[in-house]
Amino acid sequence: MITSVLVANRGEIACRIFRTCAELGIRTVAVHSDADADALHTRTADTAVRLPGAAPADTYLRGDLVVKAALAAGADAVHPGYGFLSENADFARAVTDAGLTWIGPPPRAIEAMASKTRAKELMGLAPLAAADVTEDDLPLLVKAAAGGGGRGMRIVRRLDELPDALDGARTEAASAFGDGEVFVEPYIEHGRHVEVQILADTHGTVRPLGTRDCSLQRRHQKVVEEAPAPGLPDALTEELYALAVRAARAVSYVGAGTVEFLVADGRAHFLEMNTRLQVEHPVTEAVFGIDLVAEQIRVAEGHPLPADPPAAHGHAVEGRLYAEDPARDWAPQTGTLHHLAVPAGVRLDTGYTDGDEIGVHYDPMLAKIVAHASTRAEAIRKLAGALERTALHGPVTNRDLLVRSLRHDEFTTARMDTGFYDRHLAELTGSAPDPLAPLAAALADAHGRSRFGGWRNVPAQPQTKRYELAGEEIEVSYRHTRHGLAADGVRVVHADAHTAVLEADGVRHRFEIARYGDQVYVNTTRLTALPRFPDPTAQLTPGSLLAPMPGTVVRIAEDLREGATVQAGQPLIWLEAMKMQHRITAPVTGTLSALHAKAGQQVEPGTLLAVVQETSS
C-alpha cells in the first residue's frame, strides 16, 4: 500500500494529484524551486522540499535532487505528473533503485516510446532524413524527439528555412527537456489531432478509454480538448483503438498513457505515444466517471483493472486558460493574479489562487476549465457560458479567444482541424469591449468623491476620467447632482465603489468593478486608468522594439549590426520566456539604427532592444 507520494512536478498537475491523494488518505510531498516557494502546490502538500534555483534545469529536471527529496521526506512513491521528468527512463529507474514505487510505466516502455523517432520505428515508420529532403517533401515539421507541449517544433515551407528551423528546435528542446535531438516528418496541413487514452495493469489488461479531439492548437500546443472525438466513423474509431492497444502491448505498457494520431482523409497517421498522464485527461474522467490518478496509484500497487470497463456517458470539453495575449503572437503575460473565480457546475483545475504571482520561468497556463453534459452542443454551451462569467482579474489571458472559439461555426459543427487558428485568429481576437464599461468604472471611482459639502443651486461641472481600452484612449464624463451621480444618455440606477447599475435604451446593465492600482476590471472588461494629464516625456523613437515580456535574450540574428538594412517581418532577436522562444521582428523595412540587446541579457517588459529607422519612400 502506498502511504506517501512525492509529486515530481509543480503547478496545476501537482495540485490535481494532491487532491486525489488526499481523497485516498495518502500523504503528499511537494518539491519546489525558489520561484515556487509560495506557490499553491507548495502550500497544498503535507510536506514540501526545496530544490535550490529557479530554472527547470537546476530544479524540476534534476532527478537526483528529486529522489533525495522523496527519501528525506519519507515518501514511498513518486508520481511524475506531465512534462519535466515524466518521460525520463533514467529518472524512473533512479526512483525504483532508491526503493520507491514509481507511479508510471516501466522504464523500458518509457525508453521505447519517449523518443518519437524510436516510437515511429517501433510502429514500422521512419522519419525523414533532414539531409535528403527535397521540394517534393514540403511542407515539413521539425519536431523534438523528447518531451511535448509544442516545444521544439517548427513548420518549414521552404527548403532554405530548414537550417534555421533545425537550430531553433534544437535549442528550445534542449532548454525544455534537456535533450536537443530533433527529427523531420511530413506536415499534414488539415488533419485533426485525435488521441486514445489507454490504461494498462500488470496482469495483462490493456484498455482503451475512448478518444479525444485536440485539434484547436496554437504553436502545436493544445488549447481546447474534448471527449469523445466527434464525428468519427465507427470503423475508424475501432482502428484507432486497435493501433493504441498494439502500441501499448509492443512495449509491455503499464499505467495511464495516450497514443496520438493525425486523422486526415479518413485515415489515421501515428504521431507518438505519451507515456504519462495528459494535460487533457479530465475530459476522459468526466465522460467515463473515473479518476485516472487513482487508477494509476492502484495499478502501481499491483491491483488489476476492474473486470468490467467503465461506460461512457455524455460529452466533455476543456479549455486551457493561459496568461497570454493571442493578438500579440501569443505573447505570455506575467504579474499578479488578483482574483480567479469560475461559476458553479464546471470543473476547475489550477495551480494558482488569488494573489499569486505569474512568473517567467514556467508554462503560462493558469487553469483548465471543464464542462460535462449529455450532448456535445450542451457541453460547449456550458463551457462557453462559464468562461464568459468567470471573474478573472490579472494579466491578459486567452479567455475571450476561448469563448469565441467554442462558439465558432467551424467548431460547433465539428469541422475544425489543426489549422483552425491559422485561418481564424484575426476574427477571434478582434476587440469587442462593453461600451458602458468605462463609465461604470468612472462612476465607481467617483463614489463618495463629491466636490460639494452639500448640494448647491448651481449647475455641477462635468467630471472626466480617461481609460485605455483595447489599445484606444477613451474619455468619459459624469456629474454630481442632488440626486447622485448622473451621465448624459444613461440613467444611473445605482453606483458605489464596487457596483454600478446603468440603464441605456430601457435596458438595465449590472457591472461589478474591481481596481488594483491603475488596472480596472468591469465584469470581463479590462481597462487601464490613465492620469488626468499625459506625461509629455513618455515618448519613444519611432521604430523602437521593446521587450513584450520578461525573459532572456537567447539569440540575435547572425551578422546583425547597427547600420544594417533589415526587411519588415525579418526576425532580429529571440527571447526565451515560459519555456518558449519568441521572435522579435523588424516592424518596417529600413536601417537598424540602434541595437541594445545582448545575448544572455535578462530583460523586463518595455526594455528597449533595438530601433529600426524606416526607409523613406
Catalogue the active-site residues.
Answer: 276
- 78 grid coordinates: 513518486
User: If you compute the radius of gyration of the chain from its CA atoms, what whole number of angstroms results?
Assistant: 26
- DSSP calls for 30-98: EEE-GGGTT-HHHHHSSEEEE-SSSSGGGTTT-HHHHHHHHHHHT-SEEE--SSTTTT-HHHHHHHHHT
Closest among 337, 432, 421, 393 to 520, alpha carbons compared: 393
Closest among 73, 595, 575, 19 to 292, alpha carbons compared: 19
**Is the bond into 139 cis (omega within 30 degrees of 0)?**
yes
* 365-373 and 140-144 beta bridge pairing: unpaired
CA distances from 340 to 39, 355, 360, 382, 577 (A): 15, 9, 19, 18, 23
- DSSP calls for 446-496: HTT--SSSS--SSPPPPEEEEEEETTEEEEEEEEEETTEEEBTTBEEEEE-
DSSP strands (E only) in 133-179: 140-144, 153-156
DSSP 409: H
3-state secondary structure of 412: helix
Point out which residues pair with 224 in neighbouring strands: 216, 319
CA distances from 327 to 163, 164, 397, 411 (A): 28, 25, 10, 20
Q: How far is it, in rounded angstroms, from Cα 587 to Cα 589? A: 7
* 507-516 and 499-504 beta bridge pairing: antiparallel
Point out which residues pair with 472 in neighbouring strands: 469
